[in-house]
């Protein structure tokens, strides 16, 4: 198998050198070229065979958003991994980039660069391999697989809450979901999106602009209210305990914090058969145990189909538990939520 050929795009010579040296140490990955800005990237794409792009989101001239738009216009189908700083402007640009089609992102090294590089190296390598695999995979549809204990479609206990989980591809999926759920839902919704500290607040603000409900980061000991969407803050597990939000910095689960399993399992214990749990696109298997527990308490479960998933990992793991009531394309999920709520919890 040929090496995965990567181009590193960053206006900082030091950052280009650090990332290139790091990736060139990895068997199976070759840095084919580097570029200092978007214009140089577009020029080099006509000269080099490139499989994956790492892209600085803040650059003079053509920024990451503008690069993605040009790639889309020219029908250049190369997965893009955004490298982002923690500034307010950069986090906003990063989320816009993900909505514009970037595959995933990681925070740029900062402070003690050598320590950050060690911590982020494995993550970047994993994302590169997944981005390359996603580029070359043939998408197929998997039919719904009701569990033996699941209710008939359309029959569900009075919904009391919804829990949704996503990772890679999640920001774009959530943006679509909430632009379609353009009505007030009179139950709480809990979201987990695998993101580090500094990004989830901006993420919540963007969703808040799309929704008639209040979308915010969950806060410690906050009383859970209907019509509110609680986003798990980066760096914290979020759980439902006695009708309140509980945050903690326990060890990561499945390598992530926040972890969807921590949230969904706690919500299942609290809401019992009144919980609807949904697992969307993402790497890994986070959320599968939450789906299993939701079903054990009589709740309703949905996983996203492979055909609409950026990465068919989390939703596949959920499906393979045998506890999923429905496998749905992302584009069918908003309507299905409305049907499950049955008009009882909706004000349009």
pLDDT at 143: 47
* Paired tokens of 226: 């209907």
Q: Please give the domain boundaries of the chain with CATH numbers for all domains.
A: 4-136 (3.40.50.2300), 161-347 (3.40.50.180)
> Can you tell me the mean pLDDT for 313-331?
96
User: What integer best gives the mean pLDDT of the chain?
Assistant: 89
> Can you tell me the mean pLDDT for 94-106?
91
Q: Which parts of the chain fold into alpha helices (H)?
A: 13-24, 38-45, 64-73, 88-99, 113-136, 170-180, 200-208, 260-271, 288-296, 314-319, 333-341
Contact between residue 247 and residue 221 where contact means Cβ atoms under 8 Å apart: no
Alpha carbon separation from 331 to 60, 173, 181, 220, 296 (Å, rounded)? 36, 9, 11, 33, 27
Choice among 37, 56, 90, 194 that is catalytic:
194
Assess whether pLDDT exceeds 80 at residue 135: no
Count of C-beta atoms within a 10 Å radius of residue 348: 8
Choice among 286, 308, 309, 325 that is catalytic:
286
Residue 154 pLDDT class (50, 70, 90 cuts)? very low
Quickly tell me which residue has 């499945």 as its tokens.
254
Q: What is the rounded distance in angstroms from the CA atom of residue 105 to the CA atom of residue 102?
A: 8
Indicate if 194 belongs to the active site.
yes
Residue 9 pLDDT class (50, 70, 90 cuts)? very high
Residue 137 pLDDT class (50, 70, 90 cuts)? very low
pLDDT at 156: 62
pLDDT at 58: 86
pLDDT in tens, 115-127: 566 667 888 999 9
> Can you tell me the mean pLDDT for 211-223?
96
Assess whether pLDDT exceeds 60 at residue 338: yes
Assess whether pLDDT exceeds 70 at residue 65: yes
Choice among 85, 97, 150, 167 that is catalytic:
167
> Can you tell me the mean pLDDT for 310-332?
96
């Amino acid at each position: 198998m040929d090496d995965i050929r990567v181009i590193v795009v960053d206006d900082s010579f030091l950052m280009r050198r650090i990332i290139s040296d790091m990736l060139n140490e990895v068997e199976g990955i070759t840095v084919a070229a580097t570029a200092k800005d978007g214009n140089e990237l577009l020029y080099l794409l006509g000269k080099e065979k490139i499989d994956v792009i790492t892209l600085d989101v803040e650059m003079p001239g053509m920024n990451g958003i503008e690069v993605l738009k040009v790639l889309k216009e020219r029908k250049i189908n190369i997965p893009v991994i955004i490298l982002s700083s923690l500034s307010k402007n950069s986090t906003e640009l990063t989320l816009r980039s993900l909505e514009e089609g970037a595959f995933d992102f990681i925070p740029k090294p900062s402070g003690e660069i050598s320590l950050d590089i060690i911590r982020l190296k494995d993550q970047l390598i994993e994302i590169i391999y997944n981005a390359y695999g996603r580029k070359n995979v043939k998408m197929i549809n998997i039919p719904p697989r009701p569990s033996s204990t699941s209710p008939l479609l359309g029959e569900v206990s009075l919904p009391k809450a919804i829990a949704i989980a996503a990772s890679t591809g999640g920001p774009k999926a959530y943006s679509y979901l909430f632009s379609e759920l353009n009505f007030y839902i009179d139950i709480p919704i809990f979201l987990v999106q695998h993101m580090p500290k500094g990004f989830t607040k901006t993420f919540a603000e963007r969703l808040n602009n799309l929704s008639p409900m209040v979308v915010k980061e969950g806060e410690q000991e906050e009383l859970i209210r209907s019509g509110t969407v609680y986003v798990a803050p980066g760096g914290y597990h979020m759980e439902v305990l006695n009708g309140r939000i509980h945050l903690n910095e326990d060890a990561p689960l499945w390598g992530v914090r926040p972890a969807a399993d921590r949230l969904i399992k706690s919500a299942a214990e609290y809401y019992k058969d009144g919980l609807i749990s949904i697992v969307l696109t993402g790497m890994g298997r986070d959320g599968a145990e939450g789906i299993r527990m939701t079903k054990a308490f009589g709740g309703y479960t949905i996983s996203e189909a492979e055909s609409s998933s950026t990465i068919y990992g989390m939703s596949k793991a959920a499906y393979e538990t045998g506890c999923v009531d429905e496998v749905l394309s992302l584009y069918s999920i908003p309507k299905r939520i409305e049907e499950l709520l049955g008009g009882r919890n909706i004000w349009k």
